[in-house]
Amino acid sequence: MAFDRKHLLGMDGVTREEILTILDTARSFREILERPIKRVPTLQGKTVVNLFFEPSTRTRISFELAEKRLSADIINFTASASSVKKGETLIDTVRNIEAMKIDMVVVRHSSPGAPHLLTRVVDANVINAGDGGHEHPTQALLDMMTIREKLGTLEGITVALVGDISHSRVAMSNIYGLRTMGARVLVCGPSTLIPKEIERLGVEVYYNVDEVIPQADVLNILRLQLERQRKGLFPSLREYHNYFGITRERLEKATRKLLIMHPGPMNRGVEISSDVADSDHSVILEQVTYGVAIRMAVLYLLAGGKSEIN
């Protein structure tokens, strides 16, 4: 089995063999999730802390469910209800929690690099659940699992990431993972929302979504990260929708049946119209389902992955 990591901090540097191991392990867990009793004793005796310093619906619930399905003990930490409010630092918070004998930390933080910092001060396994605009590795893995389960492969598939590329940790992790797996990656959005020199990561840049749609097998539509943007990067949400919003009319330019993906949360009527989000092209809710299996696989493999998955 090609997996010998202590932490999962990003997709940058994760090998093809490691990605395949995670995706194949997640497929086994996906089968367990279809059973009447959706629980295995794999992480019995392990304690996982979910440290969320930023809001989350999908990632937080998905990790918690994955940990429960693996029989781990779980501590949920919410910054707004903690001593962080009294000035305690991230490092002191985590050192104190680790002193209570925990094994794994899942962390979401608005500062890029926060999970990396934690690996220097704690012995526990650290999983990045999103660090600012930097990386969101388990989102990229569940996106890749969705594409592979739906289209049979990642190799040679054309995936277009459409929207706010500059502020998106989902985009960065998808680019690293998809390029490693041999996919062609197009990025498309307003020039103000595409990082300079992003071509160096092996992607092709487009500023016109109507040129991208006929080439793509998959559209992964990204939210405008308004909370991370400075003002003035585009004139208005209405104008953004007119130029980059994915609508049913635009999809008529597709040359094959496209997979429509979105990591959530969606802004309906901005980056995606409701009829597209709810269409039979959309695999947005399936992404969420695969997310639990991916997080089970990551937790299992980081914990040593020694017990049988049964």
The reply on whether position 56 binds ligand CP by CB under 6 A is yes
CB of 136 to ligand CP, least distance (A): 6
Q: Cβ closer to ligand CP: 233 or 266?
A: 266
Using the rule CB under 6 A, is 268 a contact of ligand CP? no
- Number of Cβ atoms within 10 Å of the Cβ of 30: 18
Pick from 10, 130, 132, 163: which binds ligand CP (CB under 6 A)?
Answer: 130
Closest CA to 292 of 78, 110, 59: 59
**Residue 132 binds ligand CP (CB under 6 A):** no
DSSP H or E run through 92: helix 90-98
Distance of CA 304 to the CA centre of its chain: 22
- Which CB sits closer to ligand CP, 60 or 134? 60
- Which is nearer to ligand CP, 40 or 283 (by Cβ)? 283
Which range binds ligand CP by CB under 6 A, 22-30, 55-63, 193-201, 204-212?
55-63
Report if residue 57 touches ligand CP, rule: CB under 6 A. yes
Q: Which stretch binds ligand CP (CB under 6 A): 3-11, 52-60, 178-186, 268-276?
A: 52-60
Token pair of 88 as six digits: 């305690």
CA distances from 134 to 91, 176, 293 (A): 19, 12, 23
Nearest to 131 by CA among 110, 153, 156: 110
Question: Closest CB to ligand CP among 143 and 217?
Answer: 143
Q: Which of 132, 133, 245, 263 binds ligand CP (CB under 6 A)?
A: 263
Q: In the complex with ligand CP, which residue's Cβ is closer, 7 or 58?
A: 58
Contact 44, 74 (CB under 8 A): no
Asked whether position 228 contacts ligand CP by CB under 6 A, the answer is no
Q: Is 262 exposed, middle or buried (0-12, 13-18, 19+ CB in 10 A)?
A: buried
CA distance 56 to 186: 27
Q: Does 163 bind ligand CP (CB under 6 A)?
A: no
Residues that bind ligand CP (CB under 6 A): 56-60, 130, 136, 139, 263-265
